Amino acid sequence: MPMILYSFLEQYDLSGKTIVPFITSGASGFSGTIGTMQELQPGANVVENGYSITRNRMEEAPAGVAAWLKELGYLN
Ligand SMILES: Cc1cc2nc3c(=O)[nH]c(=O)nc-3n(C[C@H](O)[C@H](O)[C@H](O)COP(=O)(O)O)c2cc1C
């Protein structure tokens, strides 16, 4: 997880909030990011089914994001 996110998650209390992670990457995907978010924000609901796409598949992102949001119930 990038340092800027460590700083943000250490500085703010997101208890009671829902965190919906989505990322681009070269190849690493989420790695340990979702677990780290859960550790840093124990009072928050961190959605484990985040959206991850690699930079060389960006053309799939619009359809992929829409399908993912439907899966989560955020889109009809
Ligand atoms: C300093 C730096 C470190 C990066 N480290 C990783 C990495 O460890 N794993 C990975 O999958 N991608 C890594 N990347 C690739 C970027 O995360 C990837 O290019 C980005 O998600 C695509 O979004 P962009 O168009 O904003 O660059 C790194 C990029 C930079 C600039």
Q: How far is the C-alpha of 75 from the C-alpha of 40, rounded, in Å? A: 28
SS3 24: strand
Ligand 1 mean position, distance from CA 25 (Å): 5
For 16-30, what is each residue's pLDDT tens digit? Answer: 999 999 999 999 999
Residue nearest to atom 17 of ligand 1 (CA): 25
The CA distance from 76 to 73, in Å, is 7
Give the three-state DSSP class for 23: strand
Provide the domain count of the chain.
1
Domain range holding 40? 3-72
Which atom of ligand 1 is nearest the CA belonging to 54? 21
| Residue 42 DSSP symbol | T
Please give the pLDDT value at position 4: 97
Residues with C-beta less than 6 Å from any ligand 1 atom:
24-28, 55
CA nearest ligand 1 atom 28, residue: 26
Average of per-residue pLDDT values in the chain:
97
